[in-house]
Structures are given as C-alpha cells and as structure tokens.
Amino acid sequence: MLKGPVFTRQALIVLLLGLLIALCCLSLVEVSKRFDYIRFDKERLLEAVTVVTVFSCVVIALFAATRFSFGYVVGLSLFILVAGFLWINTFSRYPYDHQLARFSAAVSFLALLSMAIIAPSRERPRFELSERDSRWVLLGIEILAIITLLSASRYNFRLVSLDHIYDFRQDINFPAPIRYAISISLSALLPFAFASRLERREAKRAGLTLLMMLLFYPITLSKLALFAPALLVWLLILISIFEARIAAILSLLLPLAAGLVLAYLTAPEQTGLTETFFKLINFRIFAIQASALDIYNSFFSTHPHTYFCQISLLKPVMACPYDEPLSVVMQNTYSLGYMNSSLFATEGVASVGLWLAPISALACGGVFVVANYASFGLSPRFILLSSGLMPQILTNTPLTTSLLTHGLVFLIALWWVAPRPAGENDRT
C-alpha cells in the first residue's frame, strides 16, 4: 500500500477531496445541459461557489483528521450528495425557502458526520466466532444466495440491455420473503462473503460470490446487481494500492472525472457509450440524489410531513397523509421518475421538516457509531469491501430501508462476531 508521513497523507486527502468537490460542481454544470430540471445560471455562480466552498472546507478538515471507518466511507458519499444539493439549491427553480433548506442540509450533514466518524480507541469485549464457525456462516450465506437465485428465477429471468430494463421491471413481482432475501443477499451478505473469502486467500470462492451477485441482474433487472461485481473489484484494486481513506476517495473521484472528460468530448444531443457512461455515473450516481433533496424540499414546503409514517413497520399504527410510498408521490407530482432518496430527504425533510432535520440526522448517526464499534479490529480492506455497496444504497434509500430491506443490520451483526486478524491493523 502506498503510504507516507501522516502530514503528507493528510495533505493529499485535502487535495483529493477539494478536487472531488470541484469536479462534482463541474459535473452538475454538464448535467444541467442535458436535464433541464437541474439548472445553472452564470449570474449566481459566485454565490454557489462560496456556499459550497465554505461548507466543504469545514468537512474536508474533519475528513483529513479522522481515521478510516465504515462511517468515513458512507460520510464521503453523503458529503458529495449534500455538496451537490447546495450547488443545485442556488439555482433551483422550485419554490421553497432556499436559504433555510441550505442551512438545514449543511447542519444535518455535520450532525451526522460528527457521529459517523466516531471510532473506538480500543477493542471492547465481544462474542467472536471461531474460525470453524465462521466458515459455516460463509457457507450458509452462499447456500442462501443460491436458494434465493433459484427461487426468484421462477418469477423472472430475462437477459435485457440497460436501455430496456424499465420496459419489464415494473411487471416483476416477487413474494415478500424472496424480495427481502434478494436485497439482503445482494447488498450485505454476498459482499461480506466476498471480503471474507479474500481474507482467507480463497480467490476462486471469492470469484463465485461475484458471479452469484451478477446472476441477480437477469432476475431483478437492477443496475446495482449488474455493476456490483465491478464495483467490488474496483475497490479491491484501489485498496491494494492505496491506504484506505485515499482508496475510498479515489473510488468516487476517478469515475466522476472520467465521466466529466467524456462529457466534454460528447455533445449533449449525441448518444453512444460515452454519453451512456456520463448518464450512469455523473447523473445517476452523483446528481440525481442531490436533485431529489431539492425536490423533496419543494414538495414538503407545501405538504404535511410524514412524522415517520412512511416506515412500513409504523404505517399500520399511524395515521399517514400519504397512501403511497414517497417515491410514487414524487413521480405523481413531478413526473421525474420514482425518486427514493437518502436519510436527509426522508428521515429529515419529509419526516420532521427543515428545523428538526439536524436532530433526526444526529439520531441516525447513532447507527454508524454502532457499525464502527462492530467493525473495530477488522482490517480496513475487509471493511471497505464488505460494505462496498452500502454507500451507494444509503445515498439512494432511507436509512430504515437500508437497515432492514438491504440488510445493513445483518452486516453490522456479522462484523460484530467476525474473527479478528492477529496483530494491529492499519486504521488510517
């Protein structure tokens, strides 16, 4: 791994994060040329740059001084989301209190990050699986994934290109147990098994877990399933070369930069692989969730808040002003697609409004404190790979959905009991 003096690494982190934010803003300018509901106005450029810069300086200082953890990785993705929202908010065409929304989003993120970067300084007593029991757990995960694949394939199995998945995906209807098994296996269990097999130097078995993840694509027609193996391999390459914090930053920076370069080489009206890459990376992964926060702010500025009634476990016992999921409500109102969004939009803006959103974010940060304690003592490589899909999931779905539907709670439990490697780990 490329390492160096602490000061040098911190300076490099500051430089890379500054570059990442600059590329994010430039990317949003390019996105605005292709999607008219994300706007850009040169007359307000100075205001946007000032707001994003002030926010980013505070956050970057925290990231540079913080050790690596699961909360660190998730915080990076949510940092880009909120910085992107602050940029979009400056030019937004939607009517709401833009300054209050800007303040609420920035404080909410800082409240969350203050919790997410908390990491224990020493090992705490815990139950730890023996090596033999751990192998049985991994075998059980792989068997469960195979059973889920076979069961789900009875309901749908189509080899469809990305351009046509939406022609068929709305017709897919799995029974609830299979639907949950798919999400949990793909998002949490198989990445954990992949990282565990690599720790044991069982490359072939690790490759089989990637194959199982890929096989979920023709069943679910989900982009996550299609690109999950490539994402984990990408993270593996980076963590094999760089220390954990830099690898996590580069995992975001390099694809964003590549998409932006391709956009400069392609006119907005053109189609092809370069434009597809830009739309997939720069728009779908980086821009749309920042835009979703803008839209949620607009909607809930004139509509009643949910007070968490959107959570499926609470809906039967609470009166709720919305009969449909929030993503459907947004589609019916704005016709921009079914916009699920992060905890800032759902547990924050939608549930309690702008003034109380930072308190909600602070409470949500407790989940990441638990996750950091559960994963303490595991190698940075193992944490990064086993949670490889979670940052993307957490920027696209509410925290409650990520915990249960996507299996974050199971991943945390597996971290808690996973065998620790002998010797002291690099926690930077």
How large is the average pLDDT for residues 8-29?
A: 96
pTM: 0.94
* Three-point CA angle 97, 361, 195, nearest 5°: 130
pLDDT bin (cut points 50, 70, 90) of residue 234 is very high
- Give which of 67, 52, 71 is closest to 290, Cα–Cα: 52
Number of other residues whose CB lies within 10 A of the CB of residue 3:
12
Whether pLDDT at 372 is above 60: yes
Coil, strand, or helix at residue 2? strand
- Specify the amino acid at residue 403: L
pLDDT at 5: 67
pLDDT bin (cut points 50, 70, 90) of residue 198 is very high
Backbone angles phi, psi at 319, to 5 degrees: -75, 135
How large is the average pLDDT for residues 259-281?
A: 83
pLDDT bin (cut points 50, 70, 90) of residue 401 is very high
Q: Domain boundaries in the chain?
A: 6-124+271-417, 131-236
Q: What DSSP line would sit under 269-300, residue for residue?
A: T--SHHHHHHIIIIIIIIIHHHHHHHHHHHHH
Q: 100 near 354, Cβ under 8 Å?
A: yes
pLDDT at 423: 54
Task: Quote the tokens at residue 360.
Answer: 């909600």
Q: Which residues pair with 242 in a beta bridge?
A: 2
Q: What percent of the chain has pLDDT over 70?
A: 94
What is the rounded CA–CA span in Å between residue 18 and residue 112? Answer: 20
pLDDT at 156: 93
Q: Which residues pair with 2 in a beta bridge?
A: 242
How large is the average pLDDT for residues 67-84?
A: 97
- Name the average pLDDT for the chain: 92
Range scoring the smallest mean pLDDT among 58-72, 100-114, 122-136, 192-206 = 122-136
Residue identified by tokens 């690099």 is: 426
Q: What DSSP line would sit under 225-272, residue for residue?
A: HHHHHHHHHHHHHHHHHB-HHHHHHHHHHHHHHHHHHHHHTS-TT--S
What is the rounded CA–CA span in Å between residue 218 and residue 211? Answer: 12
pLDDT at 427: 46
- Give which of 375, 384, 389 is closest to 236, Cα–Cα: 384
